[in-house]
Structure 1
Amino acid sequence: YGGVAKVVGIGDICLETSIGTRLVLKGVKHVPDVRLNLISTGRLDDEGFYSLFGGGKWKLTRGSMVMARGDKSASFYWMHAKVSKDIVNTVENDDSMELWWCG
């Protein structure tokens, strides 16, 4: 609580959700000191997604397509996803660039 964490890069990533859809997140901040991968629902809203929370469940849609689902645990909603196997993801800043993929 109350700490400052350094952003080492900003970039776009593609996640493959547990229901098999691909979710492209733009302008993702890479902060090594943060142990969880957090997604801003405000940012998703800005990009045209609709988030529905209720009954211990979370659903993310774009138009009529369900993009992701999750469950509530304590005060967080959790989504299972992995970095897409078919797309190389990058995060870069002035000093370095990172590449990662699932194989």
Structure 2
Amino acid sequence: MKNFKTRNFGKFRLADDEALDIAGMGDINLRTFAGIIWTLKDVRYIPRLKRMLISMGMLDVQGYRVTRDGQWKVVKGNLVVARDWKKGTLYMVELPAEEVNSFSDDVGHSSTLWHQRLGHMSEKGMKILVSKGKIPKLKEVEVGFCEPCVFGK
């Protein structure tokens, strides 16, 4: 999780009315079906919650459009950011556990951060800089979905 803030952010109520503490908030990156890195902002950290839930209201606030017609789709502009099928009465998205960010002090080694620092440079350009040793400690270049780049085109 990036930009993580800890404090008491209140309670999250389950369907059975059990209240769970919201212990923190931050941004999280997920890799989608298409290999896109999808950044969810202001994600609540609820230690006792066993599943990751995505708030349709928060997606709406952040400018995403969600369609649910047997297939769950999250769209920003003309780009399908995430999708999956309806399973029973729930719309779910399957993501490998290793794709969810862990808490990281590795911020200086992030491709996305360097992409932003370099004025939204292309992956190709960044790979050239890495091969010449111009970006210290960056081992791999993988930028993924970048909202400003999409809207700038």
Task: Name the TM tier (shorter chain).
Answer: 0.7 to 0.9
The CA RMSD over aligned residues, in Å, is 2.3
What is residue 91 of structure 2 aligned with on the other side?
77
In the TM superposition, residue 72 of structure 1 has moved relative to its aligned partner by: 0.8
Which has the bigger relative contact order, CA under 8 A and spacing at least 6?
1
Structure 1 residue 3 corresponds to structure 2 residue 18? yes
Runs of 4+ in 1 over 3 A off after TM superposition: 82-85, 98-101
Task: Measure the CA separation in 2 of the matches of 1:48 and 1:69.
Answer: 16
Q: Secondary structure at the match of 1:37?
A: coil
TM-score normalised to structure 1 length: 0.76
In the TM superposition, residue 26 of structure 1 has moved relative to its aligned partner by: 0.9
Structure exhibiting the larger radius of gyration computed from Cα positions: 2
For residue 22 of structure 1, the aligned residue among 34, 37, 43 is: 37
Gaps of 5+ in 1: 91-97
Q: Percent same amino acid among aligned pairs?
A: 31
Task: Measure the CA separation in 1 of the matches of 2:94 and 2:104.
Answer: 21
State the Cα deviation string for residues 10-45 of structure 1 (Å, max 9, x = none).
111111112211111111111121111000011011
If each structure's helix is expressed as a fraction of its own residues, which one has the higher value? 2
For residue 49 of structure 1, the aligned residue among 56, 64, 69 is: 64
In the TM superposition, residue 100 of structure 1 has moved relative to its aligned partner by: 8.8
Equivalent residues of 1:14, 1:22 under 8 A apart: yes
What is residue 73 of structure 2 aligned with on the other side?
59
Equivalent residues of 1:22, 1:84 under 8 A apart: no
**Residues 100 and 17 (structure 1 numbering): CA distance in 2 closer, same or farther, change over 3 Å?**
farther
What is residue 104 of structure 2 aligned with on the other side?
99
Greater Cα shift, 18-27 or 36-45: 18-27
Task: Measure the CA separation in 2 of the matches of 1:5 and 1:76.
Answer: 21
TM-score normalised to structure 2 length: 0.53
Q: Secondary structure at the match of 2:21?
A: coil
Q: Secondary structure at the match of 1:2?
A: coil
Number of matched residues? 90
In the TM superposition, residue 84 of structure 1 has moved relative to its aligned partner by: 4.6
